[in-house]
Amino acid sequence: MLALVSPALLVILALIVLPVGWLAWQSIYHDGFTVENYRRVFTEDIYWRSFALTFEISLAVTVIALLLGYPVAYLANSVPKGWSILILSLVVLPFWTSVLVRAYAWLALLQRTGVINQFLRYLDVISEPLALVHNTFGTVVATVHILLPFMVLPLYATMQKIPGDLMQAGASLGASPSLTFFRVFLPLSLPGVLAGCTMVFVLCLGFYITPELLGGGRTVMVSMLVSRNVELYNQFGAASAVAVVLLLSVLAIFFVVSRFISLDRVLGQK
Amino acid sequence: MTRISPARIALYLISALVLLYLILPVLIIAPISFSSARFLTFPPPSFSTRWYQQYFSNPAWMQATRVTLTVALFTVVIAAPCGVAAAYAISQSKLRIMRLIHMALLLPLVVPIIITAVGIFFVYAKVGLVATMPGLVLANVMLGLPYVVISVLAGLQSFDPAQEMVARSLGMNRLRSFFAVTLPQIKSSVIAGSIFAFISAMDETIVALFISGGQYQPLTKRMFTALRDEIDPTIAAISTLMTAASFLLVLAASTRQKKAG
């Protein structure tokens, strides 16, 4: 049996375990052991500002995705099967479109001469085009769009398991629909909320394409810090240290979340 | 009779807007790609296929397309058998280390892709795999493996291993009984997993940005560079074709999965 897993395991060891191990080694060793790279990450302005910005954006994206995703998951859960299949198909449809293609679509929609600005000017709502992209706003709009399915799917899976008679029981005992929702349904859906939020937050921490293409160079997220240190400045040690700190943040989040819910629940969705 | 409450109406309205937000970007690309305008305008001034002509007549785009299709094909050819073998072993073996191995095989989904990309770049730089075809294929095999493993494991869950025991008790060896009894029953999930691995390789951008170069640049890398420099509706034409390809493949995969039950 071990022989059967060995080709796959070898690929994983050579192409992800070894490279990540290499990064970790490179971050502490350069002609002798050094903590210089980590000192820079934790003391120099551009590094910790970028980490702070990345956590802020990830938090904003997670909250927005939850606020947008919860009603959709709730609706998909409460309508007849045919409708819920339709709703869920619309949710996963963009999921299978390349991230790059969607970044391009958002550029087309949001730029100064883009669809939305032209439409608003046509309606005479605005006289000057709005700056919707090449800033943090554009990054957040496109990132939420890409990560929303990761929120809706675990939410829906959890809501599916909430027995419908519980709500009826609440209603028959005289509780108003909103009271049954807040006292019965919402608490029971919390594991799904946690699973969805974890996935969205963690994926957002490492996001690269949307901030790079839609951030206009000002929204420097951690992933861009890594790539710039490699491609522009040849600062391999610094890039590695940033990558290690990012990876440790992700693992720490998974560890904390696994205390509350099974990680299968978080990773269960593709 | 139930009266539709205001809360219900608000729910419908919000959900409709969110769904519109989700699909609008996917729907906007095709009209732009068929527009005659040089710059992005919507609605398009007139119908034209010039951006498609430009794509098909440009040797650089064509070369990139060949690279993408070759990489995706080789990725599936390697990742599918490796993934099926691994999933089979994980589902059959009771060794405790298998749980750990199972988790290791899902690592590509957990480690932020930018970290994987930079790490692979450093390793490839040492062994001379940067800007090569084998380097690109290997990286995509690693990224595609989880899709095959997850899909096949799900397929094996609804398969009764006793059937294979019967075949073996009737004198077939393990290998033959796998191909004669097990594989036909999990075929659908194998195909679905392979299709997802293919799409993943076709869409992969970040690792390619770091490790590909020269004549072995996939479509996504060229598109990314083009998007950073100057936006040209040729990208819309390519995007439309890529999206159409993905959707057809997903459709094929989901009908497969439905058959699997």
Query: pLDDT tens digits for A149-164?
Result: 999 999 999 999 988 8
Q: Which span out of B2-6, B28-32, B220-224, B246-250 was modeled with the highest average pLDDT?
A: B220-224
Q: Are A140 and A64 contacting, i.e. CB atoms less than 8 angstroms apart?
A: yes
A-chain residues near B5 (CB < 8 A):
177
Give the confidence band of B30 by pLDDT, cuts at 50, 70, 90. Answer: confident
Q: How far is CA B112 from CA A208, A258, B206, B207, in A?
A: 10, 18, 11, 11
Tally of residues, chain A: 270
- Contact between residue B152 and residue B88 where contact means Cβ atoms under 8 Å apart: yes
Give the lowest-confidence range in A35-49, A191-205, B129-143.
Answer: A35-49
Is residue B8 assigned to a domain? no
Residue B19 lies in a domain: no
Arithmetic mean of pLDDT, B144-154: 94
Residues in A closer than 8 angstroms to B145, CB to CB, are: 8, 11-12
Mutate which of B15, B78, B199 to test chain A, going by most A C-beta atoms within 10 A? Answer: B15
Q: Any idea how long chain B is? A: 261
Within-domain flag for B54: no
- Amino acid B257: pLDDT: 65
Chain A residues in contact with B219 (beta carbon < 8 A): none
Nearest beta carbon to residue A9 from set B29, B92, B101: B101
B98 contacts B90 by C-beta, under 8 angstroms? yes
Dihedral angle over CA of B253, B141, B105, B206, nearest 10: -100
What residue ranges do the domains of chain A occupy?
A: 38-164+175-267
The CA distance from A33 to the nearest CA of chain B, in Å, is: 19
Range of the domain at B195: 60-260
d(CA B194, CA B175): 21
What pLDDT is stored for residue A269 in this prediction?
A: 43
pLDDT number for residue B7:
83
Report the gap between the CA of A183 and the closest CA in chain B (Å). Answer: 16
Please tell me whether the interface predicted TM-score (ipTM) of this complex is above 0.90: no
Cβ neighbours of A202 in B, within 8 Å: 112
Segment A185-204 mean pLDDT: 93
Which of B14, B95, B138 is facing A15, going by the closest CB pair?
A: B138
pLDDT at B1: 47
Does A148 reach chain B within 8 Å, measured CB to CB?
yes
| Interchain contact, B19 vs A18, CB within 8 Å | no
What is the least distance, in Å, from the CA of B105 to any CA of chain A? Answer: 6
Interval B187-209 mean pLDDT:
93
Domain count for chain B: 1
Distance CA B261, CA B256 (A): 9
Residue of chain B with shortest Cα separation from A222: B114
When computed from its CA atoms, the radius of gyration of chain A, rounded to whole angstroms, is 22
Report pLDDT for B75: 97
Residues of chain A contacting residue B18, judged by C-beta atoms under 8 Å apart: 68-69, 71-72, 148
Cis link prior to B43 (omega < 30° from 0)?
Answer: yes
Q: Does A115 touch chain B (CB under 8 A)?
A: yes
Confidence tier at B163 by pLDDT (50, 70, 90): confident
Q: Which one of B19, B28, B223 has the shortest CB-CB distance to A105?
A: B28
Contact B114 A97 (CB under 8 A): no
Spell out the alpha helix ranges (H) of A29-80.
36-43, 45-78
Q: Does B3 score more than 70 pLDDT?
A: no
For residue A29, which phi and psi values (nearest 5 degrees)?
A: -130, 120
Lowest mean pLDDT across A95-99, A220-224, B11-15 = A95-99
**Is B182 within a domain?**
yes
Q: What are the percentages of helix, strand and coil residues in chain A, rounded to 5?
A: 80, 0, 20
Q: Is residue B77 part of a domain?
A: yes
Hey, what CATH class is A38-164+175-267 in?
Answer: mainly alpha
For chain A positions 209-248, those within 8 Å of chain B (CB to CB) are: 209, 212-213, 223, 226-227, 230, 236, 239-240, 243, 246-247
Would residue B18 count as lying in a domain?
no
Mean pLDDT computed over A237-263: 91
Let me know if residue B67 belongs to a domain. yes
When pLDDT is averaged across residues A25-39 and rounded to a whole number, the result is 89
- Residue A133 phi/psi, 5-degree rounding, is -140, 170
CA torsion sign for B29, B31, B34, B40 is negative
> Taking residues B223-238, what's their average pLDDT?
84
Low-confidence winner among A140-144, A229-233, B209-213, B240-244 (lowest mean pLDDT): A229-233
Name the more confident of B37 and B154: B154
Q: Do B86 and A148 touch (CB under 8 A)?
A: no
Contact A4 B88 (CB under 8 A): yes
Q: In the structure, what pLDDT confidence band is assigned to residue B215 with cuts at 50, 70 and 90?
A: very high
CATH of the domain at B102: 1.10.3720.10
Question: Tell me, what's the pLDDT at A270?
Answer: 36
A17 contacts in B (CB within 8 Å)? 104, 107
Where residue B120 falls among pLDDT bands split at 50, 70, 90? very high
Taking 80 as the threshold, does the pLDDT of residue B45 lie above it?
no
Tell me if B2 is assigned to some domain.
Answer: no
Residues 6+ apart with CB under 8 A from B42: A108, A114, A115, A118, B28, B31, B32, B35
pLDDT band of B261, cuts 50, 70, 90:
very low
What are the distances in angstroms from CA A228 to CA A36, B204, B210?
A: 18, 20, 11
pLDDT band at A125 (very low <50, low <70, confident <90, very high): confident
**Dist. CA A18–CA A13, nearest whole Å:** 6
Q: How far is A56 from chain B (nearest CA, A)?
A: 18
CA–CA gap between residue A104 and residue A146 (Å, rounded): 12
Res A216: pLDDT: 81
